[in-house]
Chains A and B, each alone.
Chain A
Amino acid sequence: MKHKWAMVIDMDRCTGCGACVVACAAENNTPTAGEAEAAKGRLMHWLRISRYWKREGNETRAIFVPTPCMHCEKAPCEIVCPVYATYHDEDDNLNAMVYNRCIGTRYCANNCPYSVRVFNWWNYTWEKPLDEQLNPDLSVRSRGVMEKCTYCIQRIRRARETAISERREIRDGEVVPACAQTCPPGAIVFGDTADPDSAVSRVLKDPRVFKLMEHLGTDPSTAYLKKQRGPGR
């Protein structure tokens, strides 16, 4: 059965705590860039929390936009890759990444309007005993390749294998990416929109729903919920 995985992030719930970023790094073996490299704009986070300040009368509000890969249906990154290192996974409707094919043109990153792709500038190492915390379910990337949020594809694959061995479909809620699992206010909902009764399909009917840079026509799988404020709303 084909799936269409999607994520919905409730910005009205998000507190900007950053737990999802930490969980993502722990799950996906993303290296810690360090302070100096981060200052150069080389954070390795697959999921970042963009923070904006908005002035409303006398009050200044912070707006947090947790930004993982949008897994666009019409992904701009895919067509520009000369070696099919990033391509569309037709079964899961994911925007997949094959590290071994990647030669590091970084064109995909330039063409991603959300700028969610990160590049391995160095051969990052995990000093002992930190290497013990690496997740064995996925690889550690070498320098020179692009990487990005995969919607925790290793968890999707594991759930699928379990389901196949038990001769059933994947149940709603069986796949939970690390960010959604960790989010303290429960702002991230993940699931299969091919299943009309799944939690994520229900949340997507919320009137607060919007997608990032919808006007670009990328048709993202990641959606946001936010109550619109201000005049005219």
Chain B
Amino acid sequence: MSDDSRNHLARAGETALYDELSRSNRVTTRSWYVATGIAFLVFAFGLGAFIYMMATGMGVTGLNRPVFWGVMIILFVFWIGVSHSGTLISAILRITQASWRAPVLRGAEAMTVFALMVGGLFPIMHLGRNWRFYYIVPYPSERQLWPNFRSPLVWDMVAIATYLTGSILFLYFGMIPDLAVARDRSTGWRKKLYTTLAAGFRGSHAEWRRYHVTSTLFAVLIIPVAVSVHSIVSWDFAMAMVPGWHSTIFAPYFVAGAIYSGIAGVITVMAALRWAFKLENHLTERHFDNLGKLLLTMTLIWGYFYFSEFLTTWYSRLPEDWALISSYGGHYLPLFLLMLVCNFLIPLPLLSLGKVRRSIPAIFAVSLVVNVGMWAERALIVVPSLARRNDPSIWHNYFPTWVEISFITGALAMFALLYLLFAKLLPVMAISDIKDHLFRTTDRSVGGTVVPSVAEEESGKEGTP
């Protein structure tokens, strides 16, 4: 779609714009049923595997002594990492008032919420007595015992609960004007649903003012939460005196890795949404170009962190660390190469090319590659460090069983399922933000090219769509 016709709908009429942006809500296609059905079946299989594990014992996994943490913790770190960028990107774009942000916001925020819902399950599932998970929650119980606040796992529980609550509120709050639009244009049970969710939003000046103040406040507050969450996830590892885990760089390194995999996740989700719901007019090459540049930045930052962490450990050759690093060149070489290739060697040159960033299939492929690489990176952090503990007499390797592999697929399916249901029920595009932006923008010819230009600088307070 060329830039000239980008704001055709804002001018042509609200109905057409609404129809185009909420196609996912209005038409239920056969392919939606097929996709949802497949996602449900795969998810149900994972759920069945979990129930089997819960009923039989953790012995059905590939875990052993000393590798007490495996796929479930890898999935936990991975999905919390993926969850990272949605809210963060959205908040940063809101605060910096990036002019291209509007079509990306909603999809990214929803990705955060669903990835958190998936990721947050795994620390519970991985418990030996997962039916007793509430022992970790601080509530006045018959045991008359608080949880141990010195344990990073308690911090983790608090951090993830906070982040999930914050992200859901952030997503919901940003959605209110769009729910109001949907309420005015729908019938039947959908009207009832949107009426309830829109909370009486009418679009008066006062309402918009409060909305903008609150959403800026939310955006500012959610950033430290997001940074703290992945720092705390990293401290689950860094606080332990395990060679390879006990590192001061882990918190910023994990945050960088999380943003990296999160941006890749945003690109994957955006490309899928654009393709599935025909949003070519709104999610343009420009968005993918910009997200691609962000991804490239994170590739470099991640590479820098990994290099500096690796170099110090490698150079000092402490015996405990050396045993671990040797395993990267031995038993865990395939995993190490997978990480290095998918996280750095492939994305770095490709994302440097504008052609790749602007080609949606190409950047979609790169985003998938990055997430495979990030999965390998998480696996490489969790497993080899445990497999090469201080006492060599108990060294033991680890490979997941079918139960754990069905958790990997089940997690992916659960994420897809949540997203498919979300796309069907709620406004998947930030309609009012997009409309706002389209109204402000005109296309101007500058030399040989046409650039979008805004009539006035956004004040952030007086949105009048």
Interface residues of A (CB under 8 A from B): 37, 40-43, 48, 50-52, 65, 67, 76, 79-84, 101-107, 109-111, 113-115, 117-123, 142-146, 213, 216
Contact of B151 among A40, A79, A110 (CB under 8 A): A79
Contacts A41-B396, A102-B128 given; indicate if A107 touches B390 (C-beta within 8 A).
no
Closest 5 CB pairs of A and B: A104-B128, A144-B128, A41-B64, A50-B393, A121-B59
Nearest Cβ in chain A — how far from B130, in angstroms? 8
For the complex with contacts A40-B396, A103-B127, A103-B128, 14 further pairs of A-B residues with Cβ separation under 8 Å are A41-B64, A41-B67, A79-B151, A82-B151, A103-B132, A103-B133, A104-B128, A106-B69, A111-B240, A113-B389, A115-B389, A122-B59, A142-B129, A145-B128
Nearest Cβ in chain B — how far from A164, in angstroms? 26
- Which residue on chain B has the smallest CB distance to residue A100? B143
Can you pick out 6 interface pairs between chain A and chain B where the beta carbons lie within 8 Å of each other? A48-B393, A52-B392, A82-B153, A101-B143, A111-B241, A118-B65
Task: Tell me the complex Cα distance, A81–B391, Å.
Answer: 22
Contact of B148 among A37, A52, A79 (CB under 8 A): A79
Whether the Cβ atoms of B393 and A52 lie closer than 8 Å is yes
Whether the Cβ atoms of B148 and A81 lie closer than 8 Å is yes
**Complex interface: chain A residues within 8 A of B386 (CB):** 110
Nearest Cβ in chain A — how far from B354, in angstroms? 45
Contact of B145 among A76, A84, A110, A144 (CB under 8 A): A84
- Which residue on chain B has the smallest CB distance to residue A120? B128
Nearest Cβ in chain B — how far from A79, in angstroms? 5
**Complex interface: chain A residues within 8 A of B152 (CB):** 80, 107
Contact of A145 among B129, B130, B393 (CB under 8 A): B129
Nearest Cβ in chain A — how far from B330, in angstroms? 17
B30 within 8 A of A: no
**Complex interface: chain A residues within 8 A of B62 (CB):** 40
**Complex interface: chain A residues within 8 A of B127 (CB):** 103-105, 144
Contacts A120-B128, A123-B57 given; indicate if A84 touches B148 (C-beta within 8 A).
yes
Task: Tell me the complex Cα distance, A64–B450, Å.
Answer: 78
Task: Tell me the complex Cα distance, A107–B239, Å.
Answer: 11
Nearest Cβ in chain B — how far from A30, in angstroms? 13
Nearest Cβ in chain A — how far from B157, in angstroms? 8
B58 within 8 A of A: yes
B460 within 8 A of A: no
Task: Tell me the complex Cα distance, A37–B396, Å.
Answer: 13
- Which residue on chain A has the smallest CB distance to residue B64? A41
Chain A interface mostly? loop
Task: Tell me the complex Cα distance, A113–B391, Å.
Answer: 7
Contacts A76-B240, A80-B240 given; indicate if A102 touches B129 (C-beta within 8 A).
yes
**Complex interface: chain A residues within 8 A of B389 (CB):** 113, 115
Interface string of B26-41 (1 = CB under 8 A from A): 0000000000000000
In the complex, chain B residues 119-172 whose Cβ is within 8 Å of any chain A Cβ: 123, 126-130, 132-133, 135-136, 143, 145, 147-148, 150-154, 157
Task: Tell me the complex Cα distance, A81–B149, Å.
Answer: 9
Nearest Cβ in chain B — how far from A42, in angstroms? 5
**Complex interface: chain B residues within 8 A of A142 (CB):** 129
Whether the Cβ atoms of B241 and A216 lie closer than 8 Å is yes
Whether the Cβ atoms of A115 and B391 lie closer than 8 Å is yes
Task: Tell me the complex Cα distance, A158–B136, Å.
Answer: 33
Whether the Cβ atoms of B148 and A83 lie closer than 8 Å is yes
Contacts A41-B64, A121-B59 given; indicate if A106 touches B128 (C-beta within 8 A).
yes
Nearest Cβ in chain A — how far from B332, in angstroms? 16
B48 within 8 A of A: no
Nearest Cβ in chain A — how far from B400, in angstroms? 13
**Complex interface: chain A residues within 8 A of B150 (CB):** 79-80
Interface string of B89-130 (1 = CB under 8 A from A): 000000000000000000000000000000000010011111
Whether the Cβ atoms of A41 and B56 lie closer than 8 Å is no
**Complex interface: chain B residues within 8 A of A143 (CB):** 57-59, 128-129
Task: Tell me the complex Cα distance, A165–B69, Å.
Answer: 46
Whether the Cβ atoms of A50 and B128 lie closer than 8 Å is no
B463 within 8 A of A: no
Contacts A79-B150, A105-B153, A110-B69 given; indicate if A119 touches B128 (C-beta within 8 A).
yes
Contact of A115 among B66, B126, B143, B148 (CB under 8 A): B66
- Which residue on chain B has the smallest CB distance to residue A38? B64
B275 within 8 A of A: no
Contact of B240 among A67, A101, A102, A107 (CB under 8 A): A107
Whether the Cβ atoms of A80 and B239 lie closer than 8 Å is yes
- Which residue on chain B has the smallest CB distance to residue A86? B148
Whether the Cβ atoms of B59 and A82 lie closer than 8 Å is no
Task: Tell me the complex Cα distance, A79–B393, Å.
Answer: 26
Task: Tell me the complex Cα distance, A144–B133, Å.
Answer: 12
Whether the Cβ atoms of A119 and B68 lie closer than 8 Å is yes
Whether the Cβ atoms of B68 and A110 lie closer than 8 Å is yes
Whether the Cβ atoms of B242 and A111 lie closer than 8 Å is yes
Whether the Cβ atoms of B65 and A43 lie closer than 8 Å is yes
Whether the Cβ atoms of B241 and A76 lie closer than 8 Å is yes
Interface string of B233-268 (1 = CB under 8 A from A): 000100111100000000000000000000000000
Nearest Cβ in chain B — how far from A101, in angstroms? 7
**Complex interface: chain A residues within 8 A of B145 (CB):** 83-84, 101
Task: Tell me the complex Cα distance, A79–B240, Å.
Answer: 10
- Which residue on chain A has the smallest CB distance to residue B398? A41
B362 within 8 A of A: no
B272 within 8 A of A: no
**Complex interface: chain A residues within 8 A of B157 (CB):** 82
Task: Tell me the complex Cα distance, A145–B393, Å.
Answer: 23
Nearest Cβ in chain B — how far from A71, in angstroms? 17
Task: Tell me the complex Cα distance, A84–B394, Å.
Answer: 26
- Which residue on chain A has the smallest CB distance to residue B136? A82
Task: Tell me the complex Cα distance, A147–B128, Å.
Answer: 12
Task: Tell me the complex Cα distance, A41–B68, Å.
Answer: 11
Task: Tell me the complex Cα distance, A42–B277, Å.
Answer: 50
- Which residue on chain A has the smallest CB distance to residue B154? A82
Whether the Cβ atoms of B151 and A119 lie closer than 8 Å is no
Whether the Cβ atoms of B66 and A107 lie closer than 8 Å is no
